[in-house]
Chains A and B, each alone.
Chain A
Amino acid sequence: MIGLHNLSKHYDDLRAVDDVSLSIETGSVVAIVGTSGSGKSTLLRLVNRLIEPTAGHVTLNGQDTRDMPAFELRRRIGYVIQDHGLFPHWTVARNIATVPRLLGWPKDKIRARVEELLRLLSLDPATIGPRFPHQLSGGQMQRVGVARALAARPELLLMDEPFGALDPVLRGKAQADLRAIQQTLGSTILLVTHDMAEAIRLSDRVAVMRAGRVEQFGTPAEILSRPATAFVRDLVGEGERAFRFLSLIPATDLAEEGAASGQPLPRTATASEALDALIWQNAEALPLEGGGRISRAALLRAGHP
């Protein structure tokens, strides 16, 4: 569990971060959402002490992070940034090995770990490993950035607009991959984004920031259904609220007994995907893979809080 306790960062008169407290359960994803200048990136960088707070402190699994040298803390926390920040003079493999090398892991352990991570991120170790960053596509660079951050099995992963440099098609795929990896590894992630939809899709809890303060901290469903302030409501937006809400619900939650004709829905589908398929196939109900069905009425019932 990671705890942010009354964190503040003031620059002269500007309160970039103002008395923020949050806690992040181990194995969960928390997204910080805000407009530019809201202090969300500053808050993230207070956690790994790239910026030192004016007041307050962070605890990492019960340990006060002020009690260790900043560079040691950072080796325990993965860090992914928008422009990847891959070291251009090192190969992909050497980039991923950065933190394990700093920690003095034995060579074969590093090699095995690099290979494991490249596979996990669906990159071929034999072909991609020896390449240099400028020989990669944008999507590959992004994945290498994630692999580097995960290399030393960090206790926390910080991500600052990790998909910001990707085009919309790649972004959707990268988001799905990240969620899958997070579920496999059980990582704890603190993620910064300006995109509410991304936050809702990826995270277990969302913190909405404005002018250095957290306006609301809650589950995506709470943010969608009960925005605490006008600002949060604006950020969520009026359009497509029902669809976003449905996207939070697994289709299996709405399954009922019975059969239906048509193309079966995969068990991993969300309620929003189920509704999309129903409308597209003009069906009253569709079968679910492995038994049961989803009806239009159930979906409409579930589409509001």
Chain B
Amino acid sequence: MRYADRLGLVLALPLIAGFALPFAGLRPNRIAAPVAEWLPHIFGWPAAAGVALVAVAALARSPLRLPLAALAVAGWLALLGLGASRLAEDAPAYARVSPGAGFWLGLVALVLLLADALARRKPAPVARLALLAATVAVLALVLRLWPDVSVLQEYAARRASFWAEAQRHVALALGSFAAAVVAGVPLGIAIQRTPRLHLPVMNVLTAIQTVPSIALFGLLILPLGWVAANVPGARAAGIGGIGMAPALVALFLYALLPIVTNTVAGLRAVPPSVSEAARGMGLAPRQRLLRVDMPLALPVILTGARIVLVQNIGLATIGALIGAGGFGTFVFQGLGQTAPDLILLGALPTVALAFAAQVIFDALIDLLPGRRP
């Protein structure tokens, strides 16, 4: 066990599968069955051996694991792009190169290796933000090598609508998030102060959570359609039975529970001695809330906010089912057309967005004054 640890040994399995299974699939057209292509076949044996060497070096127990794993992930992604271009050279114009099982397994192994190496270093919040920025920059560079990978071809075919849906997705997630924070925090404070309200409010919010998202989105069509038809100016303001309005309201409703729960939990966790001391020093109730209770409860409230933002980014995909747009549009189109690349075009940015939101929020929480990492 001097040269390898258990993690490296276990992750070697998917990595070996990454070499043994098809690295990419070449399809004569968008929805045809793929023809498997192996890594050595695409790049030749010497190049494949070189790649294997870097991967093995990253698996070995060494202080260089972090940089090696980072290099291996970036390299693995670049290989797919380069390989796709090679395969596309001798293929008909409508041919598509999509990632194969080998690529995915290898990627998972290398990303897990990288995640482990990072987790063990316990980077400080600022370092985590810097790492996120660096990841985005590297991805942007690597994606330039991907013009012939099918996902990017789907992207190229609908560049304009992609960014429009991206905007709608972010607007849905952030808009409902902001509304939930603005409404949820005061609601949390209110029910913390009026215990009589606590149970009924929590019961209603919990019941909302149990309604499946597609049903809640659908059910809101009716009341909002009524508002659009009967409230003057509502339609002009963009409120309608179909589209963004019911999605925004549904996401807002789902978001309330975590925000309210965490606001109450945060306020409850303020040590009674601290509250008492604030009272003893003559702080008025409002001053106590703003200067003592809220700052102390903030990390817990922000954790609730983080949960909500990540959850809303994911749930916003459902909005596509009722015409609210967002990345879900591509996911459901892709499902309808049995086009995996289109599914990926919707799913991957959603995951990336949620991931980035989590990293940024976690770092912000850790950066709050008085927090020890």
A contacting B, Cβ–Cβ less than 8 Å: no
Contacts from B to A (Cβ < 8 Å): none
Contacts from A to B (Cβ < 8 Å): none
